[in-house]
Amino acid sequence: MARKHHPPGRARRFIDTYTSGLTGEELRRLFTRDAPQAYRYFSRGMDEKAVAALPVHKQLALRARLFF
């Protein structure tokens, strides 16, 4: 079955804007080096033992809140 072509949505436009001009190596570095460093920065001061004791769904919500 053929897929219908949809015009780009907001998410696609965001990704295209954010990644335009990046090489494959730069994009890879965003996820392998830069993202973990950013997470460590934003999660500094978070009690990892206390978070680990929470149910998984609460852990995910707490960690996601760090960025928003």
Q: Which two tokens stand for residue 45?
A: 């001061």
- pLDDT at 40 > cutoff 70: yes
Q: Which two tokens stand for residue 10?
A: 């907001």
Dihedral angle over CA of 17, 22, 24, 26, nearest 10: -120
The reported pTM is 0.49
d(CA 25, CA 68): 27
**What pLDDT score does 6 carry?**
66
